[in-house]
Amino acid sequence: MTALLLASGSSRRKELLDQIGVHYQSASMDIDESVLVNETPSDYVFRLAKEKAQAGIAVHPDMIVLAADTSVVVAGNILGKPDNAPMAHEMLRQLSGKTHQVLTGIAVAQRIQGETNVEAQVVVTNVSFSVLTDLQIELYIKTGEPMDKAGAYGIQGKAALFVERIQGSYSNVVGLPLAETGKLLQRFDVPVWLG
């Protein structure tokens, strides 16, 4: 059986793969994550997931590589990870009282006889936030939770209090859409707990 590499250092993605019984190793891939001119959010996460998968194959050509990239998008703008508390505050203000999208590009790559086969797709979930007060935002930032997360929040943490409704995959918002990832891995004969 070919070993699987998760091309990510994300503890959340590791927990999600553990949840569906996938055996893997993990390593972060260092790629340029700049948004290209006129690139849509969907094209952006799709491209980054593929590039991370291809970077993983370049280093580990004998493995199957799973890669993902998640972005939070509000009013067409991609919200990355905040660099500081004021940036986190501004992101959360933008999300307050609105419905935003969480997009995750997922890609699986395998090298067979010198040729790299990559399959990728984008999964979208709509997330509706309640109206947040400045005090709620400040208290949330003080928890430290927003600082390493796209859009400055983690749905699986304290920010669950802000989420009024989601339409689509919950695990996608955490960082890896499990139903779609499981199907993609099975196409590459990577076993999940269903066999």
**Per-residue model confidence as pLDDT tens digits over 128-142:** 999 999 999 999 999
Catalytic residue among 30, 62, 69, 83: 69
Torsion of CA 61, 19, 155, 6, to 10 degrees: -10
Terminal-to-terminal C-alpha distance of the chain: 13
Residues 96-152: pLDDT tens digits? 999 999 999 999 999 999 999 999 999 999 999 999 999 999 999 999 999 989 999
3-state SS of 27-90 is CCCCCCCCCCCCCCHHHHHHHHHHHHHHHHHHHCCCCEEEEEEEEEEECCEEECCCCCHHHHHH
- Is 30 among the residues known to form the active site? no
Stated as kind and residue range, the H or E segment containing 13 is: helix 11-19
pTM for the full predicted model: 0.94
The CATH number assigned to the domain with range 4-187 reads: 3.90.950.10
